[in-house]
Amino acid sequence: MASFTFTTHVGGGRAIVRTRGYLSRVAGEQLEREIVRLLDAGERRFVVNLKETDLINSVGISILIGVIERVRGLGGELVFSELTAVNEEIFRIMGLHRHARLVRGDDEAGE
């Protein structure tokens, strides 16, 4: 069984990507490819829901930084939702919160 999977739902003017499992380098690259695909399809507002991802490594996060930059470069926005307390702590240590909002639920992403 793969250690990382995700599902994508597009609607309401945004794309919600829900991850499941360990967000490592490989997983980060998978996520990156998905976001790029959605960007190419014209999506500009993204919510990455990390509720089911309890473990992220710094390499995976570094890939996310690149994804954020790419989205913002095209005038879009990427929001992270439902992080665990530890993952939110890690995001803040690495400064991601300065470049992407961290919200408690997907609904808040639209605010």
Partner 1 sequence: MADAGAVLPDALPAEAFFGRIAELRRLHREARSLLRGRGRSRAICARAGAGKTELLLQWHGRLFREGEILPLYVAVPETKDAALLADEIAAQIALQALAFARRDPSLLLRPLAPAAVAAGLRPAFGGAGALLVEELSACAAGAPAGSPAAPLLIPHRFALASGMRVAFMLDDAANLGERAGAAPLPARAVASTAAPLLLALEEESDVTHLLGSGAAALATAERLGPLAGEAVRQMARHLARVAGLELGDAAVAALEREAAGSPFYLTALVRALEESGGTGPADVARAAAASVCDGELGRYWFERLAGLLPERGVRATAVEILAYCLREGGDPPQISRLAALMLKDEPAVERALAGLGRAGVVRIDCARVVVDEDQVFRDAALALYRREFEQATPSAVAAACAAAKVRGAGAADRRRALERFRESLGALLLAWNGQRISRLLFDAPAYARRRAATATAAAAAAAGTEGFDGQEAEVLLPRVISVASGRVGAGGTPAGSEMDALAWGVRGEPAAGGEVDVAWIARRIPGGAGSAGQIAAFDRQVAALQAAGELPAAGVVRWAILDAPLDPEGEREAASLRLPTSLHEQLAELAAALGLPVPARPGPQGPQVVPEFELEMIIPRAADAELVAARALEQLAENLGVGSEETGRLKTALVEACINAFEHSGEREGRVRLWFAVAAGKLVIRVENRGRPLAALPAPAAAGEQPRRRGWGLTLIRQLIDEVRIEPREDGVSLVLVQDLGVRPHG
Q: Which residues bind partner 1 (CB under 8 A)?
A: 3, 22, 24, 26, 54-59, 61-62, 65-66, 84-87, 89-90, 93-95
In 22-76, DSSP assigns E strands to 45-52
Cα–Cα separations (whole angstroms), residue 69 to 2, 31, 98, 100, 107? 28, 14, 12, 10, 23
Tell me whether residue 59 or residue 102 sits nearer to partner 1 (CB atom): 59
Distances (CA, A) of 3 to 11, 92, 93, 109: 27, 25, 25, 27
How far apart are CB 9 and partner 1 at their closest, in Å? Answer: 26
Q: Which is nearer to partner 1, 27 or 109 (CB)?
A: 27
- How near is the Cβ of 95 to partner 1 at its closest, in Å? 6
CA distance 26 to 78: 20
Please, what is the minimum distance in Å from the beta carbon of residue 86 to partner 1? 3
- Token readout for 73 is 């470069």
Q: Least distance (Å) from partner 1 to the CB of residue 101?
A: 19
**Closer to partner 1 at the Cβ: 10 or 94?**
94
**Nearer residue to partner 1 within complex by CB, 47 or 56:** 56
Tokens found for residue 62? 């570094």
